[in-house]
Structure 1
Amino acid sequence: MAKCPTNRSPGCPVEGALDVIGGKWKGVVMFHLLDGTKRFNMLRRLMSGVTQRMLTRQLRELEADGLVHREVYAEVPPRVEYSLTDKGETLRDIILALKAWGETHVPYYALSKQELPETESA
């Protein structure tokens, strides 16, 4: 993770925050954990397109940054659950604001491929 120099620019905290929560999947993981604890396979089902390896990596990074808690239960087969930590909960309003912004300003995310307008060929 990048560290800001002592004579940092005003945007340096934003860069630091994006280092922690940025990327294609971290925000989505946190969004799905807003409504409670989830097991790994449930997260994977909710996030079509993410590979098992990538989801594992993103969860480990979020855990290392103190945003996600990983609970392993000594059962056979082992059960692992993920939830937001108190620090992760502090991002609730930001994640919901990103969702609202996306719904308003990136409307094609809510449309199916059949509803997308045709593009003109050059």
Structure 2
Amino acid sequence: MAVKEKGPYRCPVEVAFDFISGKWKSLIILCIAYDKVRYSDIKACLSTISPHILSHQLKSLESDGLIVRTQYGEIPLRVEYHLTEAGLKLLPILGSLGSWASAYYPDQIPHSTLQNCRRFFSGDSSDDFCWNH
């Protein structure tokens, strides 16, 4: 899939943030991180996202070339999402952003969330990113 044209941009960082900005996009990327997942898995991971917003954000991430949507010709219909190579390359960057936030704004992050996030990015656990379970 071709990435949609955006811009014009003044800086490469502006491009990056345009593709992952917003409340949900980076969290969706993390929910999909290392496996093919279904819509219901993402919805369960991000329990407070509305179905409309989730659908919109998934379409946006797909059109930006960060995720792939695969629809299987089965009944009932089965759709899975997974990261593209570009999406996978974002994971260590998101981990670095999380480390930065943890270092400079630790009072904004619940302790249990911080522990789960560290385990996820360090590879010390096969646990899901989702700490809402």
TM-score tier by shorter-chain length is 0.7 to 0.9
CA shift digits 1:45-71 (9 cap, x unpaired): 101211111011111111001100101
CA drift of 1:28 comes to 0.2
Between structure 1 and structure 2, the one with the greater Rg is 1
Equivalent pairs: percent with the same residue?
37
What amino acid is aligned across from residue 45 of structure 1 in structure 2? Answer: A
CA distances 1:17-67 after superposition (whole Å, capped 9, x unpaired): 111111100000011111211100110110121111101111111100110
Moved over 4 A (4+): none
Aligned residues: 106
Q: Provide the residue aligned with 1:109 in structure 2.
A: 109
Tell which has more relative contact order, 1 or 2 (C-alpha 8 A, sep 6+). 2
Letter in 1 for 2:77: P
Residue in 2 that maps onto 1:15: 14
Paired residue for 1:2?
7
1 CA distance for matches of 2:98 and 2:7? 26
Cα deviation, 1:78-121, whole Å, max 9, x if unaligned, reads 11111001111111210111222333333332158xxxxxxxxx
Q: Does 1:36 align with 2:41?
A: no
Task: State the SS of the aligned residue for 1:91.
Answer: helix
Gaps of 5+ in 1: 113-122
Unaligned runs of 5+ in 2: 1-5, 113-133
TM normalised by structure 1 equals 0.78
Cα distance in structure 2, aligned partners of 1:88 and 1:111: 27
